[in-house]
Structures are given as structure tokens and as C-alpha cells.
Structure 1
Amino acid sequence: MEWMLLPFKRYADFKGRSRRKEFWMFQLFYWIVVIALLAIMFAGLPWETFGDDYDGGQGSSPDFGFTFIVGATLLGLWYLGTFIPQLAVTVRRLHDRGLSGWWYAGLLIAGFVPLINLLVLPGYLILLVVLILPGEEKPNRWGEDPKDPHHAEVFA
């Protein structure tokens, strides 16, 4: 559980390196929460009204209900609260591979540029491969190897 919460402890820390374990445990925690909040959202939907002529042709939409609104609000707050830790842990993971975090920033920005955003999907697939690979087993310009037993500041 400590590995899942470590990116919150290092909330806006874009310096240093992060192990694969820190990155992927945080991703697991992140997606468990997202799926739970989506389940809350969709549990309250009036499923029987979808696909039917709900309003008799009057043009009104179905009532989404309290649980949908609560779930959507909590999901929005979760996205806002985890945006910076997600960025930071990804940048630190790239640092562990010996790459600058600016590569990730470029990929994020490219998603908003017309036509260039077509390259974003292959870019994210390449990023996924890079994040899966082990980090450099030696000190690099972003710090010591986080797997080095002499480097004990992870939970200090």
C-alpha cells in the first residue's frame, strides 16, 4: 500500500527517479478508484429508460439521479487531485530510464495540435514500452538508482 500512495507523498516532485514498482502500483490504485467511481455513477442510472421512447416524444432526457451526480463529482475531483501526481510520477519514471520529462510534456501538448495529434497514439504506445522497461542500474543526471540498497530515502 505504501507504494500506491508514495506519489501523493511526492505530490509535485518532478526531480529524481521512480521505480517501476512505484509507478505501476500507483497506476493500479488510480484505476481501481476510477472503476469504483464509474460503478457508483452508472449504478444509479435508470437503465430501463435507455433505448425506449422515454418521454413520449416530448424531448426531455432521463433523470440521471443522485448517485450519478455524486459519482461524476467524485470522479472529477479524483481527476483533479491526481493530475499533478500522475504527471510527476511519469516524469520521474522517465528520469529512471535516462529520459527527460519534456518528452512526456511534448506528447501531452501534441494531443491538442490538429493533425499532429494523429501521432499521439503511437507516441503513447512507445511511452508505455519505455515505462515498462527497467530503469538504468547506475546513477544518472536525475539521481541515484532507486533500487540501490544504499539509496534508502524512498520512505524516509
Structure 2
Amino acid sequence: MNWYLYALRKYAVFTGRAQRQEYWYFFLINLVITLALGIVDNLLNTPGTGEGTGLLGGVYSLAVLIPSVAVGVRRLHDIGKSGWWMLLSLIPVLGFVILLFFFARVGQPGTNEYGPNPKEETGMGHMAM
């Protein structure tokens, strides 16, 4: 949960790097919350449920849109790629597969053009989960 909150605190930070743990814990907790809100939306039959996204899920999705893109950009920076690669998400299926491959890669050791390696810094890089 600490990684999720850490990513949220960096709400619109598109600079620097994010190690794999930061990205994947944010992704996992975000997925669990989205699924839980989908169940609640269905149980309460909130507006929009029939179209696929209920009111609660829709509001949550909008709230985490910017942090999701920001942590993805920082993750790409960790492997030495520009944040503009996030635009691949606009390409159905293929874009998702390519980004999945990028997000799973090990970050570049040492400092790259986007900053120091977060694993080598003190603080969140050594957070015990």
C-alpha cells in the first residue's frame, strides 16, 4: 500500500524515475480498487453501470488518470525511454503489449538522462514491503 500512496503523492510528477515495484504495486492496488468499485457499482446500480462503468468507478478512474500516466512515464524513464512512449497506449492491443514489455524491464543501473536510479537512492528504493 505504501507504493500506491507514494505514487499518489507524486500525483503529476512526470520527471525522474520509478522502479518496477513502484509501478507494479500502484497498478495492482489500482486494479483491486477498480474491481471493488465495479462490484459496488453493480450492487448499487449506480448511473452508467449498464454502459460498463458505474459512477463510482468512473469518478475513481478520472481521479487516478494523471497519477497513472505519471508513474508510467517515470517507469519508462527508468529504462531510458522517453515518456512519449506512453502514447503507445492509444494503439489497441499492440500498444498495451509493448508497454507491458517496457514496464517489466529492469531499470538502467546508475544515473541516466532522467535522473539517479531509484533503487540506489535511500528512502523508497529500500522500502520493506
Count of residues in correspondence between the two structures: 120
Runs of 4 or more above 4 Å deviation: none
- Name stretches of at least 5 consecutive residues in structure 2 with no aligned partner: none
Distance of 1:12 and 1:31 partners within structure 2:
20
Contact 2:4 2:26 in 1 (8 A): yes
User: How far off its partner does 1:31 sit?
Assistant: 0.6
TM normalised by structure 2 equals: 0.85
Q: Deviations over 1:46-105 (max 9, x none)?
A: xxxxxxxxxxxxxxxxxxxxx121772111110110000000000000000000001113
Percent identity over the alignment is: 36
Number of the residue aligned with 2:13: 13
Of 69, 91, 94, which aligns to 2:73?
Answer: 91
Question: Does structure 1 residue 128 correspond to structure 2 residue 100?
Answer: yes
Question: Does structure 1 residue 152 correspond to structure 2 residue 125?
Answer: no
Contact 2:18 2:77 in 1 (8 A): yes
Query: 1:101-120 alignment to 2 at 5 Å?
Result: 101-105=83-87, 107-108=88-89, 111=90, 117=91, 120=92
Q: CA RMSD in A?
A: 1.7
- Name stretches of at least 5 consecutive residues in structure 1 with no aligned partner: 44-66, 112-116
Number of the residue aligned with 1:73: 55
Number of the residue aligned with 1:138: 110
TM normalised by structure 1 equals: 0.71
